Amino acid sequence: MTVLLVRHGRSTSNTAGVLAGRSDGVDLDDKGLAQAAELIERVADLPLRELVCSPLLRCRRTVEPLAAALQLAP
């Protein structure tokens, strides 16, 4: 079994220079949304069978495009 760890895309707190930690409501900025969309192509050749995601908004928003493309629920 291979495990692939992916960090969330760039968030609004990253660009503000704020350490978000577990703060609620920290979303991806425009670049972060683009990074999430690019993730689909970056992992296209990998046999992904399951997605596991943190409940943080920025993490969920990072995995949503990939989950939709693979028809997997995170």
Token code pair at residue 2:
């291979």
Return d(Cα 66, Cα 62) in angstroms, integer: 8
Residue 52 has pLDDT above 90, yes or no: yes
- State how far the alpha carbon of 72 is from the alpha carbons of 14, 24, 49, in Å: 28, 25, 8
Confidence at residue 1, expressed as pLDDT on a 0 to 100 scale: 80
Task: Parse the chain into domains and list their residue ranges.
Answer: 27-70
**Contact indicator for 53, 73 with CB cutoff of 8 Å:** no
2 vs 37, residue with greater confidence: 37
**Contact indicator for 27, 57 with CB cutoff of 8 Å:** yes
Please tell me which of 4-8, 15-19, 34-38 the model is most confident about, judged by mean pLDDT.
34-38
Summarised one tens digit per residue, pLDDT across range 1-10 is 888 999 999 9
